[in-house]
Amino acid sequence: MSRRQVIVQLPVTEATTFDSLLRVEESLIQAFAQPIPFAAVDGHDIGQDRFNIFINPTGSWGPVLERVHASLKLRGALNAATVVKRLEKSGKFVVVWPEHFSGRFEL
């Protein structure tokens, strides 16, 4: 069974440090640590040449995606990131950033 998620994917290269990836994740955790949370960071995994951060929305997509975008921009990670919605019923991935993404998203 699929669940609604926002996935932030960052590339992992030889120059990438694990600490830098964890700082991005920590920034997202802090971004959603509000008095009335509307999403929660649910951890990460590392795939082949990519680092995935999983976020579980508790409400609508809009505020969550706006907060993710702002947090990644503030951290300087937005240009490298791919941000995806995983739809609950179909499990389908919908890339929302970058705006003109071409290709296929894979975890």
Contact 94/85 with Cβ under 8 angstroms?
Answer: yes
Contact 52/73 with Cβ under 8 angstroms?
Answer: no
The pLDDT, as a whole number, for residue 2 is 58
- pTM score, whole prediction: 0.92
User: What are 86's strand-pairing partners?
Assistant: 5, 93
Residue 66 corresponds to which amino acid? E
Q: pLDDT tens digits for 31-73? A: 998 777 789 999 999 988 999 999 999 989 999 999 999 999 9
Domain boundaries, the chain: 10-96
